[in-house]
A and B are shown apart, each in its own frame.
Chain A
Amino acid sequence: MKRLLFLVIAAALLSGAALFAGGAEETATGPVEFDFWTTQTQSDRMATIQVLIDTYTAINPNVTINLIPVDENDIPTQINAAAAAGNLPGLVELGAENAVTFGAEGFMDKEATAALLADIGEENFYDGVLRLVNDGAGGYYALPYHGWIQGIWYRSDWFEEAGLDPPNTWENILTAAEYFYQPENNQYGILVGTTAEAFTEQSFTPIAMANGAALFDRDGNLIFNSPEMREAVEYYAELAQYNPPGPQTWRARDYYLQGKMAMFFYSTYIMDDLAIADVAAGSLTGENFADLEGGAFDPELVNNTALAPIITNTEPAGYGVVVTMGLPQQEDPAVTAAASAFLRYLYTQNAYITFLHMAPGGMNPVLREIATNARFQNDPNGVFKNYGAEKMAEIISGMNEIETFSIVDGVRIEAASAIFSNQIIPQMLFSITQEGVDIDTAMARAEEAMLEIVNE
C-alpha cells in the first residue's frame, strides 16, 4: 500500500511538473490525468472500482484516474454541463440510450471507440448488444460493458409436470397462465405489470415487439395505432386476467418466491433472491405469520426456476438494458489514448470479471466467452454456482435480442423516450386492465397524448 501511495504521489508530482514545463509534450508516455464517471455510486462498488484503478495505475504510473460517482439519473444534466464547460470526462459509464443521445450530438469520440472495438474484436460482443449503440452508418457511439436482461421466470417443475412448453411464445405463455391460474387455491398464473409505472412498460415492450409492433418507424413517424399494436394490447389485457388480484407491480414477485405464482416478468437482478436464502428472507415475511400458507424459503426454487429471455409471436424479441463505457471527445489526444488504454484493461478477463461480480446476475457480460468462463461462474456469493454453466449461458444469451421502442434500426427516436418517461403506455394499460376502459378508447387517448409530445 505504501508503495502504491508513493507511486500515486509520484505520478501527481510528475503531472504537476509537466504543467510547469509548459505541457508541451503530448506523447502517450507523458503523464496524463483524466476523470472516470461511474454510475455505481454505492460505496462498496466504488471501492471495487478503485482497486481496479489502483492496480492499473501501479503498472502505469504515468496515468492518474479520478473516480467520480454520478447518479445515473443525473448523467444527462452533468454531461451537458461538462460539455458546456469544456471538461468532459475521459471515460464515462452510461446507459446505451444516453450514449446514443449524446453520441448523436457529437459528444462521443467515434474513432477511438471504433479503434478499441476493433482491438477487442467486434465478433466477441453479442450482436444484439452492439446494435443498441450503433449510429446507423456502421459506427458506434460507445462500447457496451454490462447489462441486465428481462424475461419470464417460470417454475420449470410445474411446467414439466403439466406437460407444458416453456413460455417463449405468445401462445405458450397464455396457455400456461390460464392453466396455472387457480385463485381458489390462492395460486396465480403470471405477473405482468398493471400499474401506471415503468415496470408495466418493461413487461409490455417485448410482448409488443414480438408482434412486430412499434411506436415509430425509421423516419420518426408515429405508428402506434397499428393492428399489430392493438393485438398486443389485447393480448396483454388477456394475460393480465391471470395476475394476482388488483393492480400489480414488481413487488408481487414475492408471491413467486412463496410458490404462489407460475411465471413473472423480471430482470436478472432477481437471481440472487432466488439463490441465496438470507437475501430472499429479507423480502419475505411469511415466517412471521406461521398460520398463513406458503412463506418459508424454498431452497429448491433455484433449480426449479428457468428463464425464457426471448418471446416470439411473429418475430423474436427480448428486453433489457445495456450499460456502456463512452469515450467523450477530448481536446488532448493523450487523454483519449490513456482512457482507451484503461478501458482496454477493464475488458481484460480478470478486471472484467471483478467488475461484473459487484452485482452477480444484475451485471452480465457482453462478451460471449465470459458467460461460460469458469472464474466468472464462481462468484463470491455463490449465486451462479446455483444455476450451473449451461443455464447461465442460456440466460445471458438474452443479451443478444434486446430491443426497445426508442431505437428503430439503430435510429434513435427522441420522442419515444419522452413517451416512456410520461408513462403513457403504462397509464393506458392501467385504464384497460383495472378501470375497464375499452381498448379502442384507451388507445385513442394514448395516441392523442403521444401526438402532443411529438408535435411539441
Chain B
Amino acid sequence: MPSIRALTNDEREARLGWGLIAPAMIIILLLILYPIIYNVYLSFFDVSLMGQNRFVGLRNYTGILGDGEFWRSVLMTFLYVILSTVGTTLAGLGVATVMNREFPLRGLVRSLILFPYVAPVISVVFAWQFFFDPVNGIFMHTLVEQLGWVSERFNLIRDPQNALWVLIVFNIWKNFPFSYLMILSRLQAIDANLYEAAEIDGANGWQKFRHITVPELYFVVGALMLLRFIWNFNKFEEVFLLTGTNIKTLPIYTYFKAFIGTMELGDASALALIQFILLLGIIILYVKRVLKW
C-alpha cells in the first residue's frame, strides 16, 4: 500500500513556487523560446512562403559568410557599437562626476539631463530630422546664412559619408543619461572617509579619482558597458528611423533580407543566429576578462 503522508513545509513552498512562476514560464516558452527554436530550424531551409520549405543544410550560412556585404555590415556594426558604447560611458561618467558636486538648482539640472533618455525615439528622431534638414532646417540656416561658416548646404544626417557618425553622436546623446544615473548613484555611495584619508596622506585630485573613484566604480561601469554593448548591438529603431536605408548594421541587414523584396527568410534566420553567436562570444569573453566572474 502506498504510504500517504502530509507534505512537509519545504515541499509546499516548492509547489507554491512552481505554481507562481508557471504562468510566466509558459508565456516565455511560447513567445520567446519557441520562436528562437523555430528560427534555428528555419536557418537550414530555403523558405518558401507559398510552397514547401526545402532543406539546404548549411548553404544559408556559407552563402552569408561568403558575402562581402555581410562583412561590411559586421564592420559597420562593430564601429557603431564600440564607439557609441565608449562614448556613452565616458559622457555618463563625466556628467555624473560634475553632478556629484554641490551647486544651486542641482536637483533640477539632474532631472533635466534625463530628458533625452526618456523622450520617445520617434519624436526625437523627427526633431533631429527637422533641425538638420538640408534645405529647411535651422542648423544649416544658422551655419550657412547666419554665421557663414560653411559656404554650401549639405545633408548632415542622410549622407552616407556622415550617417554613421551622426548615428554614433545620436546614440551617445540619447543614452548617456542612463549611464550617468547608474554611475551617479554609485558615486554617492562611496564613503567620504576614503577621500578624507587620502587627503591626509597627501593625495591630489587626480590621484583620488584614479585610486578611489575608479576602483569603486569599476564593476558598475563594467556592467554598464556590457549592457550598452548588447543593447546597441541589437539596436534597430534608432538606426532605421534616423538614416533610413543608408546604414546597414546587422539588425537592419537582417531586416532587409527577411522582409524587403523577395523575403529570404532562411538567409535572415541564419543571419540572426550568426548575430546571436557573435554577441554571445563577445559577452563570454568580456565577462571573463573584464568582469572576472
Binding site for B on A (CB under 8 A): 80, 183-184, 186, 188, 195-197, 244-247, 252, 254-255, 258, 260, 285-286, 289, 291-292, 294, 418, 421-423, 430, 434-435, 453
Contacts and interface: CB of A to CB of B under 8 A. Distances in A.
Given A183-B153, A258-B136, A285-B130, A421 B159 contact: no
A434 B134 contact: no
A128 to B, nearest CB: 28
Contacts of B191: none
A382 B260 CA distance: 39
A289 B138 contact: yes
The 8 closest A-B pairs by CB, nearest first: A246-B155, A422-B261, A245-B134, A245-B155, A246-B158, A246-B159, A196-B245, A245-B154
Given A245-B134, A286-B136, A418-B262, A184 B159 contact: no
B59 to A, nearest CB: 14
B159 A434 contact: yes
Interface of B: 50, 130, 134-136, 138, 141, 151-155, 157-160, 244-246, 260-262
Nearest to A426: B245
A423 B134 contact: no
A379 to B, nearest CB: 31
Contacts of A247: 155, 158-160, 244, 246
B261 A435 contact: no
Nearest to B134: A245
Nearest to A254: B136
16 contacts: A80-B50, A183-B152, A186-B135, A195-B158, A244-B135, A245-B135, A245-B152, A246-B154, A246-B158, A255-B136, A258-B136, A289-B136, A289-B138, A292-B136, A418-B262, A422-B260
B244 A244 contact: no
A385 to B, nearest CB: 30
Contacts of A430: 245-246
A289 B134 CA distance: 15
Given A291-B141, A434-B246, 20 more contacts: A80-B50, A184-B151, A184-B152, A245-B153, A246-B134, A246-B158, A247-B160, A247-B244, A247-B246, A252-B135, A260-B135, A285-B130, A285-B136, A421-B261, A422-B261, A422-B262, A423-B260, A430-B245, A434-B160, A453-B262
Given A183-B153, A246-B154, A435 B136 contact: no
Given A246-B154, A246-B158, A421-B262, A188 B135 contact: yes
Contacts of A285: 130, 136
A47 B262 CA distance: 35
Contact of A195 (B151, B157, B245): B245
Contacts of A195: 158, 244-246
Nearest to B50: A80
B124 to A, nearest CB: 17
A258 B158 CA distance: 21
Contacts of A418: 261-262
B129 to A, nearest CB: 10
Q: B50, B138, B154, B261: which has the most chain A beta carbons within 10 Å? A: B261
A260 B261 CA distance: 34
Contacts of B157: 246
A423 B138 contact: no
Contact of B138 (A183, A184, A292): A292
B261 A186 contact: no
A252 B159 CA distance: 15
Nearest to A246: B155
A434 B153 CA distance: 15
